[in-house]
Amino acid sequence: MHQMLRWFVVLVAVVILGAIGIVGATAARAAADGPAAAPKDAPKDVPAAAHKAEVPAPANPFEARLEKAKATYKSKVDRCKADLVKDLDAKEASVRAKGDKDAVDKIKADRAAFAEKGRLPKTVSTTAYETRMSQATDELAAVYAAVIRELVKQKQDDRASALQTELAAFRAGGEIGWTDLFELAEWDKNDSPAHWKRDADGGATVNCGGAWSPLVFRGVVPEEYDMEVAVSRLGGNDCFEIGVVWLGHRCFFLFDAKGGSGIVAIDGKADNETACRVPIFHDNGPTKLRVIARKSGLSAVVDGKQIFKFTGKPERLTDNNYNLAPGCIFLSAAPGGSFKVTSARIKPVAGKGKTGEK
């Protein structure tokens, strides 16, 4: 028994000494060979900042500056509007605490008009709001002007002209991204019939005199966009029309065709799911017609209220192909109507195409 124990102790000692020898030999080889090579894909020892993903520089730093200024402007406008609504809310709470029903109704009407039409309220002071909005507008306009100057220096005249048009629309309406459609109309060419006349106030009048009369706008229509037209009826009882292009297919938006409105045509039919009978034109100023084109569908909005929407396949849309260039948008009036168009503008939202491209 003691003999076996002695042999076991000797065996353990041999194993331990052998292990120590292996480790020592390995360390010696490592010291002789130098540091082990890192795997090919191992990151190099570089400063931590260098591990951050590199952000590619904008193609045009001046355009990047303008986009940043637009975002800043929108943020300031949103804050101004929110603060004015807070003033209305505080005023309503004050008069409501007094039980003044008439005052509450006036404030509610002011709030709705401000939200839907941008009309300034009369029940609270708007001096601070107007001052801040004016400052924000001037700041963005200054960046526009600076970028336009730089583009001219770089001989990018077409882009500079497009931004000049955008700046003019911004100054007129206080909103960015809109393009005046009348600036894209070929007034002196065949696609602009004599039935249309440009007015001294910047608007236009159409009096068809018994013939269909489209005013066509040059340009590539984006996949998603908003179009807004302010229109007043001057006479007759036939419709005003907007030629709409949606995902490569064109149709007509008809407004007040002897009381009826809707899309012409869907599946070749004028009487379809968008047909409706709602009041469109009135005597207290122009009606604001808005086309909303998104990948999800087409909508018509009149004075802030949606009157119809189409969400079917684009292939179902057809027009009458009145020898118009494919893919163009236009305004027109039916032979039995005459209209005053105070303004017409378009704003790209998403997708390929740039309004105003030839």
pLDDT in tens, the chain (358 residues): 445 545 554 444 444 445 445 445 444 444 444 444 444 444 444 333 333 344 444 457 888 899 999 999 999 999 999 999 999 999 999 999 999 999 999 999 989 888 876 778 889 988 888 788 878 888 988 898 899 999 999 998 888 888 887 887 776 665 666 788 888 887 765 444 558 888 877 789 998 766 777 898 887 788 889 899 999 999 888 899 999 999 989 999 999 988 899 999 999 998 999 999 999 998 888 999 999 999 999 999 998 899 999 999 999 998 865 677 778 899 998 888 899 999 898 888 777 654 444 3
Q: Phi and psi (nearest 5°) for 242?
A: -125, 120
Q: What are 307-315's contacts with CB under 8 Å, separation 24+?
A: 307/261, 307/276, 307/278, 308/261, 308/262, 308/263, 308/274, 308/275, 308/276, 309/274, 310/263, 310/266, 310/273, 310/274, 312/266, 314/246, 314/247, 314/248, 314/249, 315/249
User: And the tokens for 5?
Assistant: 């124990």
Give CA torsion, residues 226, 232, 234, 235, to 10 deg. 70
| Cis before 333? omega within 30 | no
Residue pair 230/286 in contact (Cβ under 8 Å)? The answer is yes
Task: Give residue-wise pLDDT tens across range 112-148.
Answer: 888 876 778 889 988 888 788 878 888 988 898 899 9
Contact 256, 232 (CB under 8 A): no
Enter the pTM of the model.
0.55
Q: What angle do CA 18, 22, 28 make, to 5 degrees?
A: 140
Distance CA 71, CA 137 (A): 12
**Other CB atoms closer than 10 Å to residue 153's CB: what's the count?**
10
* Burial of 169 from C-beta contacts in 10 A (0-12 / 13-18 / 19+): buried
pLDDT at residue 44, rounded to an integer: 42
- One-letter identity of residue 58: P
304: left (phi over 0), alpha (psi -120 to 50) or beta: left
Listed in order, the ranges of the chain carrying CATH 2.60.120.560 are 182-350
Q: What is the pLDDT of residue 52?
A: 39
Residues ≥6 apart with Cβ < 8 Å to 168: 180
Q: Is 185 helix (H, G, I), strand (E, B) or coil?
A: strand
pLDDT score recorded for residue 189: 58
pLDDT computed for residue 357 by the predictor: 43
Architecture of domain 182-350: Sandwich (2.60)
